Structure 1
């Protein structure tokens, strides 16, 4: 029987060939012991027994002429010799335990199969099946050459990428509207693997970069959906300078250990990081001044801040002013986050926290640490250059790669410390707990890495 492959899969694998530089019609020999081949032979046994019209069940005796090529899927061609067993139809589930008939070698069936495997969607299609008891198919031998070796290496790399992409799609429950989009996302994913490796090689810290839930997004898509270009394109509202502590800061501090930080939240596909940074700061301030930790509403700012631009970005300095004018923030429970702008539904009767003013914190990192340890988590902004592919560890990109003047993401500074001789900042992000270290980013401390010291601020609660 024959089954035609869809045109979209041809587009898909053609794109894969372009990504990995692999000729799309080249055949490569495969070992019969390959785990994929064993799976396909088991399928071949089931296919034959389902259509044979015989009462006896047949099982594979040996496999030959196994080869692989990329067409509208990963195509496998192989010849399997099937032998008669003592089992009858209905016993197929016990096929591995079926003893061969004494006449099996004399009555073996020779079948040629072509199968299309799509590992990224766990699908296999029987493309061609031809069975007979006549003759033996001549084994094809392809001469080994340097080109063959290079092609096999390219194919191995491609198969590794496909396997990683399959795991990525499963892990993050990715859904694509059609095969064409899946093809495009695979190309982007492959390119992003290389980018992550380049960032890894250039990092001066202990960070690990690699596959994240953003690995199928282009840099431009990532910036548009999750970052905040207004941070570096618009000037902040002037604020008075914060009074600095006179005592030196402790060697380490983390407000998570002192009850001043709420759970990690998720801004979704909305550039509302500025709102999460500010509410996180106010949550900490309210905890220090009033003694209770309340999760506050970012959606209120997205809907009701008339100066900032909701999911298109905003500035913490504007947000503080908006909260003062509104009269405070409702709780997360009363004004839940939706991830898109709605009509303002703020009610003064439901205010859970208010602020009196806001202050700017100096750029000196020792002063930032001292203020944080004494006064609570700080709203900051930074360049998110390395964050799309960040997985764990202390990130320390080269300054030239993470320009401190190109800040594009607002976050919450909750602590600092030292690990194996490397000083770090502990930063609460707003991309959910399935990113980074349970939602946190650790950044090298002491060099103004990625501009983390250029826009530090806090609300003031009397």
Structure 2
């Protein structure tokens, strides 16, 4: 069919291209013909077929980079076509980015061979119900009035690291930061990664326990602030032990707030060294009580929807657990730039992350999809003053 179609159209370049492709790529001849027939019949014109060799080469590189293996040629056929569809989406968006329509770029990642339906089923979980956000039980957490006095921040970390984006020197506290401390206002910008209060980006894999990673992210920052040491805490401990009793559901869903309630009640949380990550919920809780295990004594629930308060608490106290609306392909394929999405929801929140800093026009969010997603595992979420994507709707901070 392809050869006849090529001869009829008189496209000798296409005939040569197909010949080279069929005998040079790693798939079987029959499989390649089937793939090309479907592409010609359903998707591509004569002009677009000229790019097919490049697409095939990109596909091979993609499989190597993300260590993709498939059970059969049919499965790979399906995945490659999905990859090509997502490539068109990414290219269209990035073309508009180059024209100034968007403030961020998209790119391929481990989700590029998944259809929208598959991605939603595997990674985009149901919104956490409002009843789970701010439950009132005993005294396992308490709200405290916010205090924007930043003087304690200077005593807890190296002053020389507290510089704003306009500072050219790392040798002294920037005048901008010093002035803000004196005025009782948050600094111009802060990045707790540069201050040493953030562990390397982690990978949740196929276990959707984003809530556990969000919880450990902010708690690790609090331990750093108080004890001047950075310890990687155990998400597996939370997945296995902070279950239905605390309104969490392992790899399915949960909240950082409920994770902190468990740590309070349990009087501690394990480290990744003694309770390593398995990427699935195990049958039994294997927590080992040690005198060195970090404890949580309360949880600060920030005022809803207030980005200014969120920035102030980040500056004064360190990384904060938040939840955002992470639905849609824009979030899925984010790779760099400041993410501004007027269509995301500030109430229907589907994913928990950790805010580790900010600048005047964005918050720095740490994700748990590994370093190959986004900006080496991070996202810059635009600060609009209107609680974009719900970043300030459910912000909580553990108190140690």
Question: Aligned runs of 1:123-142 on 2, under 5 Å?
Answer: none
1:224–1:271 CA contact under 8 A, matched in 2: no
Q: In 2 relative to 1, CA 220–353 (structure 1 residues): closer, same or farther, beyond 3 Å? A: farther
Q: Secondary structure at the match of 1:394?
A: strand
Give the aligned length. Answer: 334
- Unpaired runs of 5+ residues, structure 2, are 33-43, 136-140, 149-183
Displacement of 1:158: 3.5
Q: Corresponding residue for 1:86? A: none
**CA separation of 1:271 and 1:204: change in aligned 2, threshold 3 A:** farther
Aligned to 1:454: 393
More helix by share: 2
**Residues 237 and 122 (structure 1), Cα distance of their counterparts in 2 relative to 1, 3 Å cut:** same
Structure with the greater alpha carbon radius of gyration? 1
> Does residue 374 of structure 2 align to residue 436 of structure 1?
yes
| Greater relative contact order (CA < 8 Å, ≥ 6 in sequence) | 2
Structure 1 segments, 4+ long, off by >6 Å, are 122-125
1:118–1:124 contact (8 Å) kept in structure 2: no
Structure 1 pair 315/436, CA: closer, same or farther in 2 (3 Å)?
Answer: same
Residue number in structure 2 paired with 1:379: 321
Take 2:126 and 2:145, find their aligned partners in 1: how far apart are those partners? 29
Give me the whole-angstrom Cα distance separating, in 2, the residues matched to 1:318 and 1:223.
Answer: 24
1:345 to 280, 286, 294: 286
Say whether the 8 Å CA contact 1:274–1:411 is kept in structure 2.
Answer: yes
Contact 1:116 1:124 in 2 (8 A): yes
Q: 2:334 aligns with which of 382, 386, 390?
A: 390
Distance 1:68 1:269, change over 3 A: same
Deviation at 1:404, TM superposition (A): 2.1
- Does the alignment pair 1:220 with 2:117? yes
Q: Hey, what's the Cα distance between the residues in 2 that align with 1:379 and 1:25?
A: 60
Tell me which moved more, 271-280 or 300-309.
300-309
- Contact 1:204–1:395 (Cα < 8 Å) also in 2: no
Deviations 1:49-70 (A, max 9, x none): xxxxxxxxxxxxxxxxx8247x
2:55 aligns with 161
List gaps (5 residues or longer) in structure 1: 1-13, 15-22, 32-65, 77-114, 128-149
Partner Cα distance (1:212, 1:192) in 2: 11
Deviation at 1:351, TM superposition (A): 5.2
> 1:175 & 1:350 partners in 2: Cα distance?
44
**Structure 1 match to 2:357:** 415
Alpha-carbon distance, 1:361 to partner: 1.1
Cα pair distance change 1:356/1:118, threshold 3 Å: farther
Secondary structure in structure 1 of the residue aligned to 2:5: coil
Cα deviation 1:322-363 (Å, max 9, x = unaligned): 111222111111000011011210011265211011121122
The residue that corresponds to 2:185 in the other structure is: 248
Deviations 1:347-388 (A, max 9, x none): 112652110111211221111111110011000111123221
Q: What are the equivalent positions in structure 2 for 1:232-381 lying under 5 Å apart? A: 232=129, 235-238=132-135, 240-246=142-148, 247-307=184-244, 308-342=248-282, 343-349=284-290, 352-362=293-303, 363-381=305-323
Distance 1:379 1:454, change over 3 A: same
CA distance in 2, matches of 1:433, 1:249: 29
- Show the counterpart of 2:23: 117
| Residues 296, 68 of structure 1: alpha-carbon distance in 2 compared, 3 angstrom cutoff | same
Structure 1 336/259 Cα, relative in aligned 2: closer, same or farther at 3 Å? Answer: same
Q: Secondary structure at the match of 1:249?
A: coil
What residue number does 1:132 align with? none
Q: Does 1:426 align with 2:328?
A: no
Q: Taking structure 1 as reference, are residues 338 and 184 closer, same or farther at Cα in structure 2, changes over 3 Å only?
A: same
Supply the distance in 2 between the matched residues of 1:228 and 1:351 (Cα, whole angstroms). 35
Q: What is the alpha-carbon distance in structure 2 between the residues aligned to residue 245 and residue 432 of structure 1?
A: 34
Matches within 5 A, 1:170-185: 170-185=64-79
Give a deviation string over 1:107-163, Cα, whole Å, max 9, x none: xxxxxxxx82363x37779x9xxxxxxxxxxxxxxxxxxxxxx84313124334323
State the TM-score, normalized to the length of structure 2.
0.76
Q: Aligned in 2, Cα 1:154/1:164: closer, same or farther, shift over 3 Å?
A: same
Is the Cα–Cα contact under 8 Å of residues 142 and 298 in structure 2 kept in the other structure? Answer: no
| CA shift for structure 1 position 210 | 2.1
Cα distance per residue 1:217-266 (max 9 Å; x no partner):
12233233334424357531336434323422111011111111111111
Aligned Cα root-mean-square deviation (Å)? 2.7
Distance in 2 (alpha carbons) for counterparts of 1:229 and 1:315: 12
Do residues 26 (structure 1) and 5 (structure 2) align?
yes
Q: Distance in 2 between matches of 1:439 and 1:273?
A: 13
Conservation of the 8 A alpha-carbon contact between 2:93 and 2:105: no
